[in-house]
Amino acid sequence: MRITQHRLEGAEFLPAHYTGEVITPEIVILHDTAGRLTKGNSAAYLASKNPAEVSVHFVIERDGTIVQLVQTNRRANHAGRSNYHGREWCNAFSIGIEMVNPGRMTASDRAAGGASAWWGQVFNEAEYDIRYVKTQNHGSGFWMAYTEGQLTALINLLDALFRDVPTLKDITTHWYVSPGRKVDTNPLFPLDHVRARVLGRDDPADAAAEAGSIADPAGTPEAVRVETEGDTLNLRRWPSFNPNVIATIPDGALVPVLREGAFDGRRWLRVIYGGHEGWIVASYTDAVDIICT
């Protein structure tokens, strides 16, 4: 991806009605659309002459499609009343990116495992990876996880922005610049991972993975064989499903095990493959006995 003449090459451009003056962007603010998941729905609303008079620079769909609505050097109405490190009204110096996501949801038909969006649609918790989370910044609620396609697209877009827009300095969220008024992005968004990946800063997830696992635990095999019924298995930098894939391991491959740990209810193994050290989900492997001769 490249940003050329303030536009993302190859992306659909849907001009927003509310586009303002020329700005010098210094930060990126991440948002949730808090709207329906239907592809194109939120982008069309944010481009329209809508009653809230809102707009944004980019929308990232659940499948990873990116739509640009405002050029990166023009003001968009995405942050509202806001403050970033003492500077008020962040629209004047920021690029806004909206992730298609329903936002905070409430319990609905708990026996059937459903959560209800503000417009009444009920989503199955297992199908959409919905979790109940309570934080100081977000309060409590049911929240839908972002797709790997979305997060990968976001990383690629941010890489292009920070490479091609030299005035950009930081990545933040709507809840950070508008505390108490906004709760997006939701608490399942991997902000630390994203900032570390794009800005090159230390990622606390590395330390957490180390602290939450042990080397050579009793009962852990020295090696495992990947069992994915002909598919490949993602080798990940951290034991999570956030956008951190560093390689793919073919079905049947034998990999040595370095560490084991339980993260978010799943057993993970740290292994070596193709010169990379990373994490795989243990349920897609079978133990292998190593016989030394």
**What local confidence, expressed as pLDDT, does residue 291 receive?**
43
Cβ density class 65-78: b for 16+ within 10 Å, e for less: bbbbbbbbbbbbbb
Cis upstream peptide for 167 (omega within 30°): no
The Cα–Cα gap between 158 and 154 comes to: 6
18 is a domain residue = yes
Q: Which of 177, 199, 221 is the last residue of a domain?
A: 199
261 is a domain residue = yes
76 is a domain residue = yes
81 is a domain residue = yes
Same domain, 68 and 16: yes
Same domain, 90 and 156: yes
- In Å, how far from its chain's centre is CA 219? 34
**What local confidence, expressed as pLDDT, does residue 205 receive?**
66
Q: In which residue ranges of the chain is pLDDT below 70?
A: 109-112, 201-205, 217-219, 242-243, 289-293
Q: What CATH number is attached to the domain comprising 269? A: 2.30.30.40
Same domain, 48 and 28: yes
**What local confidence, expressed as pLDDT, does residue 170 receive?**
93
Same domain, 259 and 195: no
Same domain, 153 and 14: yes
Same domain, 216 and 81: no
The Cα–Cα gap between 114 and 105 comes to: 10
Contact 211, 218 (CB under 8 A): no
Same domain, 69 and 28: yes
pLDDT tens-place string over residues 7-57: 999 999 999 999 999 999 999 999 999 999 999 999 999 999 999 999 999
Residues in Cβ contact with 286 at an 8 Å cutoff, skipping those fewer than 6 apart? 224, 225, 227
19 is a domain residue = yes
Same domain, 195 and 276: no
Same domain, 29 and 81: yes
Question: What pTM does this model have?
Answer: 0.75
**What local confidence, expressed as pLDDT, does residue 289 receive?**
63
Cα 95-98-99 angle, rounded to 5 deg: 140
Same domain, 177 and 150: yes
- Chain length of the chain: 293
227 is a domain residue = yes
Q: Which domain holds residue 63?
A: 3-101+146-199
The number of folded domains in the chain is 2
Same domain, 165 and 279: no
**What local confidence, expressed as pLDDT, does residue 292 receive?**
42
Same domain, 186 and 72: yes
108 is a domain residue = no
CA distances in angstroms from 89 to 20, 52, 284, listed in the order given: 14, 17, 49
Q: Which of 134, 169, 199 is the last residue of a domain?
A: 199
**What local confidence, expressed as pLDDT, does residue 209 receive?**
81
Helices (H), the chain: 41-47, 125-128, 148-164, 174-177, 191-199, 204-211
**How do beta strands 114-116 and 66-68 pair?**
unpaired
187 is a domain residue = yes
